[in-house]
Structure 1
C-alpha cells in the first residue's frame, strides 16, 4: 500500500460524530498509543496515532479491549486503510476478497486468507459498533456476511479438491458448488443474520445422494469434507482462527455422522422432530455449497416447521426448556420480577443483583425475547406466513403489526434486546471470548460500565435492571404456568355430586355425568393417556364445568364435549390451546349447545378448531385465509398438491364464519360476502393450477381461454353455509384455432395420441376444473357444483363456447334461464375474455321496452315456475325458509322477474337487495314495496343461514330450545312464539306483494 510520507491524513467521514468510551485502564491506553507509534515506524507508515481524531479511538481500544488492541497492532496497514476508507468500504472489500478467492488455492494459503480476513473484518466491525457508526442490525449483518463468505470460500475449495483427487465427480468444476448436493445449512444467529461478535456458528451439514448415483464412498467423502471444513475454520495458527463451528443441531447428533444425507434428515424430522428443532429450523438458511439443493431440502421439511393447524402446546414445550435453563443458570439469584422498584433504583442493590448475571440465558435475558418471538411464530406462522421473519427484531415488528403483541410490549422487548446485544458484544470484544456473563466483581462491572458509555456503574445497573424486569414480565405473560387449582370429579369423590349440582346439573343427570368424568380421570381416552394431558385437564376442569353447567341441558353438552375430546389425537395440544385461550372454552361450549350439526363437524374435523381462534371476524381474518389460498396456489404445480391445503382452509374459514354468526359478531351480509370471496379466490386459483396442468399435458389453443361464471348465491355475493356453486364455464378461441399446440406441433389427447380439437380441449379442461372442485377429501369436497343453469341444462356440454352462449340467449333461452342470468358474474378467467363475456351477459339481458303482451308473458312464466316448484317441492316445515310461501324464493323471484321487465340496464344487479333498490330508483318498483322486500331478503337469509349452521342442509321439523335462543336473539324476539309470529307476518307481507306484482295470467301459454 502506497502511503504518504507525511501524516497529513484525515479520517473517513464515517468516523466523524462517533462517541468513544473513555479508557477503563488509562495505563493500557497509554501503552497502546506508544506501541502503535512504534508499529507504524517499523512498517514504514505514517504515525496513525497522530492523525486528528484517532487518539480517542485508540484510547477506547487500548483502555477497554486487549483483543482489539492486538488486532490494530498486528496489522497497522489494514488499520490505517480502515481509518481512511471507513468501515463500509473496508468490510465490503474484505468480503469481496473472500468471494474471489480461487478454489484451487493451496490449502495453507486458504487457511491464511480466511484468518486474515476474519482478523481485519473483526476490527472494522468492532470499531463501527463501539463508536456508534453502525446500528446493531448492520453489525450483526456484517458479522454474518463474514462467516457466510468464509464458509463459501472454504466449501468451494474442499469440493474442488475432492473432485481433483477423484473422490467426487462435479458437473461444473469451475463452479464446484452448483449441483454438488453438498449443503452447509446455517442455524441460529447465523441463519438469521444476527451473529454475535465472538459467536460459534451453528451449522447442519447435509448432502443429497441423488446427485451422485453410483458413488459408494459418498458418505465417507462428505463426512471427511466436513472434518476438513472444521479444521479450515477452527484450527488456530499464527493467524488465529476463523470461527468455531457447532454441529450439534443436526438430527440425532449422538447417532449420526457429521454430514447427514437428505433422506435421513427428512425421515428424522417427519417422524421424530421435536419442538426445539422446529424453533431452530425457523432460522435455517443455506449459506454455502449447493444453495439450490439447500432450499429444496427446507421446502421439503416446511410442513414440519410451519404447521397448518394452530399448536399452543409449543408454548409449554418452550416454557419447559426455559425453566431448565433458569434452574441451571440462575441458582442463587432472586426472582427478577419480584424485585421492588426501590431496589432497582438503588445503584448499589441493582449492581449487586447484576454481578455474574448471564445476559443471554438469565432472567430477563436475550433468550427470553427470542423465545417469545419463536413461540408466537410457531403457533401462528403456519397459517400466517407474513409472521415468518428469522430475525428477532423483524419478528417482533411483524407480531406487533399482526396484533399478537401490544405496542408497549413490543417496545420494551425491542429495547431490552438491543441493550443486551450491545452488552453481549462489549463482553465478547474485550478478550474475544464467547461469554455472556457480566463481571462478578464491582470493579469489573465498573470497567464494563465505562466500555458501555455509562456515566456510573450504578446508573447502568439500574437502567439495565428496569428494562430486563419489564421484559421478564412480558415473558411470563406468554410462558408462566397458570395458578389454577387442580381438581378431580370422580365417583369416589364424596363431594362429586354436590360439585356437579353446584355447577348446574340436575339431580337425575349427575350419575351419567360422573360416568363421563370417570372416563376422563382414567386412561380410557387416547387424548388423556399422558400425565401432561391429564394435568392440563385437571387445571381446566373448573372452567369447563362452569361453562357447561350454565347451559339449559348441561348433560347433553357434556356428552358432546366428551365426543370431541374422544376424537382428539393429541390431547396435550388441544388442552394447551384451551388453556392459552380461555375464551375458546365459551365458544366451543356455545357450538356444542346451540349447533349440533357444527358440534358433530367439530368432533370429526379437529382442524376446524383453528377457525375458532381467528375470531376477529373482520376483513383481516378473511384476508389471511384468502392470502393463504393465493400463496399455496402460486407455488403449486398440480391440483392434487394444493387441494388438501385448500380444503383445510375453506373448512376453517367456514367454521370461523359460522361461529361468528352464532355469537352475533358478524351479520349475514358480511359473512355472505366473506364466504363468497373465499369461493372466488379458490376458483381463480384452482383455474390457474388446472389450466397449467392441462397445458403441460395437452398443449395450448392459440388465442384460446376459458372463464368461470358464477350464478345463484355465488353470483349475488350471498353464499350461505353449505351453498352449492352454480357455475357456467365459457371458452373462446379464434375461428381458425383448430387443434391444441405443444411447442409448435399439434397437441394430442395424451393417451391415444390423436389430435385434440379446440372444443374438445376446453371441454376436458372444464371437466378437470369441476373434478378438482368436487374431489372428495377428509373434510369433504371443496364445494358441491351445480351446472344445470348452463345453456341446454344438464344435457348440454359442460363448457360452452362464447359464440354458442350468445346464439342460445338470442334464440332459445327460457325465461327461467334469463332470470338466472340476472345474478351472473364472471369470477375467474383472463381479463380479455372476462370483458367479452360480461358484454355478452349484458346483451342477453338488454332489450327494448316491452309490449304489454311481452310483459304479461314474462310474468306468467315467473308465476308458472313458482307454482310448479311449490307443487313438486313443497315447504317441509315453517323452517323451510327458502320454499315456504312468502319466503326467500318469492323475494328473489320478484327481483329477477322485474329485472327482466325493465329495459334500464342500470336497474339490474346480481345482489337481490341492490337490485330491489335500483328497481325502485328506476320507477319499476314502488319504494315502499322495495323497502319491505329488502328487509324480507335480509330477514330470510339471516334465518336460513342460522338454521343451516344449527341443523345442516336438512330442513328440520323443529329447532332445539338452545338453538331457538340463537334465532330469537337474531331478530330480538321475546320467545319462540313471537319468533314464529314474526316469520308468519313477514311471509304474509311478501306473499301479498308477490301476488300483486306477479299475478296469475289465465290462458296465456307458458314457454
Structure 2
C-alpha cells in the first residue's frame, strides 16, 4: 500500500480502497483506537473483505461490546484476517460474534479452534450441561461451530465438498442435541427406539448454510413394549425434536425440520416402523419417492436402527428404474417443478433463481439422479448420495462424457458457492441472485473477482447457467449412456445382460437386437469397422434422442451395408458431425425417410448443410425432368423411371427439411404439389412421345391436352401420401376428326397413368381422375365444349365446390387457361350461390360426416373427416368463396389458408375465427404428414396404438412422455375449430 498514490485526505484514501463512504469509514476506524486509520495491515485486511464497509461496521460494533478486541486482533494478524473475511460477507455471523465475543477464539489457526470436541459431541453436551435455557445453548453452540466452518469456507481452506459435508454433520449434531432435549421433555422416552433419517442435502452430506432439514422418522418398540404405545411416544419425541430446532428464542432459530418426504407426505403418520415403511414403498410409492430415498442416511437417534432402515429401502430404490414409465415419471415431475417455480416466482425473480431457474442447481441434480437411478441398478459404483461424487462416478463409468461431467461439476460448484454467499449474508434461506449493484459486487468479491466484480460475476453466472441447462436437456430429457457405445472398452467389462440393460435404459425397445446390429457394424479389423467403432459412441446417443431408437439403428445398419466400403460415406459421417446427427435423427423418426434412403443411399450426401436441404425452384426441377425425358427419347419407361428417381430425391429433401424444422406445413404442401406438377408434366411428355410414335409416319397428335389439378393438388396442399387428383381436357386441332382426337387424348391419359404406376422402388404417384364429370362412368378425357355442356346442364352443387380447387398443372398452357376461364363463372357465381345450394352443400357435408367416416374411427381424432378436421375447415372456406368470390377477387384462390386470410381482410370472417380454423388445419395437416413419415404409409386418424401415437407425437416435437398432451392439444384445437364451423358454416 505504501507505493500507491497519495491522497489529500484519509477519507479519500479509504474510498480508493473500496469503502463506499470514506468519511464514515474514517470515523469508525478512529473509534477503534489511535492509529487504526493508519494501520496499513488492518486496512489491507479490510480492503480484502468482500464488503469492506460491512466488515468495518461489524468490527466497530464488536469493539464497542469488547474494547479489548482491537488489541487482541493486532496481536494476532491471522485471527484478524479470518474475522474480517467473515465479517465482510456475513452480517448475521457478525451479529452472533457481537453477542458472544468469546466465539472469536473459534477463528484461531489451530485445528481444534472450533471447540474442544467434534460437533456431534459438543452440541449434545451443550444441552445436557444443566443449562437453564437449552434451546439457547443449542443455538449458541451451533452458530459458534458455523462461524469456524464459514471462516474456512471463505478463506478457501476447505473445498466445497468439505464445507457441505461439515454443514450436514453440524445439522446432524444439532438434531441429536434437539432429540436429547425432546427426550428430557417426554415421558416413557425409553419405550421406543427412534432413528432420524436425513434426506435431501442433509442425507447426502451436501447441505447449504440455511435450508430446511429434510428427515424421515423410523421407530421400533423397545423390548416388551406395545407397538401402538411406542409409536405414540416416538411421535411426541419427533414433534418435540422438530420444535427444538424451529422454535424462535432470544438466540433466534436454527431451521425448519421438514418431514414432508415421509410416506403419504404431510397427511401420513409422522413416525412408522420399518415394516410399515416397506409395505408402503412396495405398494404405493410414487417414482419421486424413490428418487428422494436416494439420499437417505441415518443422522441422529438410534443409528443401528437407521442403518437397518436404509439397507432395507436401498434395494427398492435401485430397482425402481425397472418400473414402467420410470424415466418418463421423473421427467414429468421435473417439468412440474419447473412450472411451479415459474408460477410462484416473484416478479422479476424467475431468471435470477440459482436453484429452480433454468440452468440452476436442480437442473444438475435431477440429471445426475436420473442417470444414477437408471444405471445404478446394474452398476453399484453409481450409488453415491452426494451430487459431485455421483457425477464423478458417472463420468468414470462412461455414462457421462468427461467434458460434460467437467462442465457440470464446474457449474454446480460455482452455483453452490454463490448459494453459500447469498445465505451467509443474513443466514436466511434464499436462492435469488440480487439485482442491486452493491450486492452483486459483494458476491463477485467473495468469489475472488476484483477488476469488475459485479460484471464478472454476472457474466460467469450466466455462462454456467447456460451450460448447465444445455447439458441438463441433453442428459435428462435425452439420457445417453456413452459407455454402451464405447464398445471396445465396455464390452470387455460388461456382460451382454448389463449392456442390454443400459441400451434399454437409453430407450431401445429391443436391446438384444441393438447389440446384434452393433456387433455387425463394428466387428472385424477393417478400416470400415474401425470408423464405425468411432462413430457409434455418439450415434447410439443420437438414435436414443430420436423417437424410435431401434428403427434408427436398424436403418443405419441397412444403409451402411448398402454403401459397403464406399469411401466417402463413413468419412463424411466421421468428419461432418452435423451430417451424422441429422442422419441419426431422420432414421430414428420413422420408416418414410429410411425407405427413401435405402433405395438411394448416396442421397446421404445432401444432409451436409441446411442449404442442401433448401427448396429447389420448380423451374429448375422442371428443366431437369424435361432433360431426363429428352435424354431417353423413345424409351419412355426409362424416361419416367429417371423422373420418378428425381421425385424420390426431392421427396427425401423435403422430408429432411420438414423434420429438421426448416420448412412449415404450408411450405411442405406447396413443395410437394409443385413436385407432383413437375412429375405429371414429365410423364405427359413421355406419354405424348409414346403415342406419337404409334401414329402413322410419326405425325403430330390430332389434339392438344392439358391436365387440371384438383383437390389437394389443385390447392397446393399435398401431403406425403396424397394422390394426384386431376382432370384431363383436350381440344382437337383444326382439321382433325373429333373421333381421332378423342382416341389420341384417351391414349395419352392412359399412358401417363400407366407410366406413373409402373412397379418401381420409388414412391408411386397415383393419378386419380374420379372428380371428372360423371366420375368413373364418364369419359376419362373431354373437350372444352363437352365440359361446357355438362356443367351448364348437369353439374351438381358439389362439383362447383370441387372446381374451387381447379388449377392448370401440365400440358398445353393456353388450353389450361381456357379451361379455368370456362369454370370461373361456375365456381365464382355472380351474386353468390342460392340459399337452396347452401342447404344442399350443408346436407352433403352432414351425409359425408355420417357415411364416409371409417367404421370404428373416433370422430374426434380423424384428421380429415372428424370434427374440426380438414374437411370442416376447407368446406367452411369454400362456402365463403362460393358466396362472395365473384365480388371479392382476393377470394379467388385454390388454397384454403389464403382464402381464410382473404375473408378476414374483407370482413367476411373474424380474425379470431380465422386463427382457430387455421390452427386446426395446420395441426391436422402436420399430423397426417407425421403419420406418413413415421409409418411409411398414409393415415388419417391419430394412431390408437400407444407406440405409434408416441412416435407421431415425438415427430411433432412433443417430449417422450408427451403423447397424451399431444392428443389433448389436438382435441382442444379441433373442438374450438368445430365451434367456429358450427357458427360460420351451418348458421345463416
TM range (shorter): 0.3 to 0.5
Higher helix share: 2
TM-score for both structures, normalised by structure 2? 0.45
Q: Which has the higher contact order (CA 8 A, sep 6+)?
A: 1
TM-score for both structures, normalised by structure 1? 0.45
